[in-house]
Structure 1
């Protein structure tokens, strides 16, 4: 009887772990700009997660050029279709490059988090930083949105991977904005490490 219970518990635990689904909602930094989808870090992260005994199905819903507003408009259908257990939001870079008001970004992030939480999933936000194209004041206001949203919604905030990648010139494309395929395995490992406190996903 005890053996049967142990076997049943093991099967249930295995099912629980295997049922993890991570939806990545991002822009070109996650979509795999100028590379195949298989080379982009969301396609590589299941391998990194498996090394940590996390068996996760990853859905990459990232689209190059997307803003936080684009992500918000697509999110309800994505949640309904994929029913993820966790959603990683990697959006805002295009908002910043286009000079969108920080309060618009904040409102969009808040709405996305609310939708995710209402669906029963866990929301995780990635900090985004932008070049000082519009001056240091705008840059600071923009970047402050992420910790504000994290604190106000009690949502985990993980660091921006590009801050480390950009230090290696061989990993960056000539535009100075996008990582090359060579950087993607490192990014996958970096994100898997940052997600570790929130396992299971």
Structure 2
């Protein structure tokens, strides 16, 4: 009986040891804004990644309303607590909506990436864009932050999922800023397809 229990424990431990840990560091777009957390795309991501033969444990470290500065302040504790192998960074929308000078989120994102790398994790950056009503020049400068950081820090950059969601009104909440529950499975599948090749 003891040998059998030891064998079961070994199997359980081995399966956990081979499960990749992915931390999602984001804002309301990833936090399940105004919906049960189990409906949010990060909660659906493990099953979506299984379709790509990736066994991943997802920690959703997203907080609605977070700026890059807020997330940077929270990051050391998250890294120490979870020691993720990968961190998907979905941040910057709130910086842009508040009209922050682009250099502010850029500096914070670079620091976030450095902290992740120093912890032994691998950062993945998501492109963020802001509505065009903030002015073409500001929107262009803001979007360029992400390609610039990706090039300088040699970090993978994946597309902004909201661009494909916002064109479908039935997938958006009445505020015009947040995807609703209907959009979450599509977002999970899309993100899974984009990051699966990066999770080695």
TM score, norm. by length of structure 1: 0.91
Q: For residues 109 and 15 of structure 1, what CA distance do their matches in structure 2 show?
A: 30
Name the counterpart of 2:199. 199
Q: For residues 42 and 72 of structure 1, what CA distance do their matches in structure 2 show?
A: 20
8 Å CA contact 2:46, 2:56 repeated in 1:
yes
Q: How does 1:62-73 map to 2 (within 5 A)?
A: 62-73=62-73
Q: For residues 197 and 113 of structure 1, what CA distance do their matches in structure 2 show?
A: 20
Give how far 1:82 is off. Answer: 0.5
Return 113-122 or 48-57, whichever deviates more: 48-57
Give how far 1:51 is off. Answer: 1.8
TM score, norm. by length of structure 2: 0.91
Name the counterpart of 2:4. none
The yes-or-no answer on 1:96 pairing with 2:90 is: no
Q: For residues 198 and 157 of structure 1, what CA distance do their matches in structure 2 show?
A: 11
Q: For residues 171 and 161 of structure 2, what CA distance do their matches in structure 1 show?
A: 12
Give how far 1:29 is off. Answer: 0.2
Name the Cα RMSD after superposition: 1.4
Name the counterpart of 1:162. 162
Give how far 1:54 is off. Answer: 1.1
Note the residue ranges of structure 2 that are not aligned, 5 or more in a row. Answer: 1-10
Q: For residues 142 and 199 of structure 1, what CA distance do their matches in structure 2 show?
A: 28
Name the counterpart of 2:186. 186
Give how far 1:13 is off. Answer: 8.3
1:25 counterpart SS class: strand
Return 62-71 or 51-60, whichever deviates more: 51-60
Name the counterpart of 2:111. 111
Give how far 1:56 is off. Answer: 0.8
Name the counterpart of 1:27. 27
Residue correspondences, number: 189
Give how far 1:199 is off. Answer: 2.1
8 Å CA contact 2:88, 2:123 repeated in 1:
yes
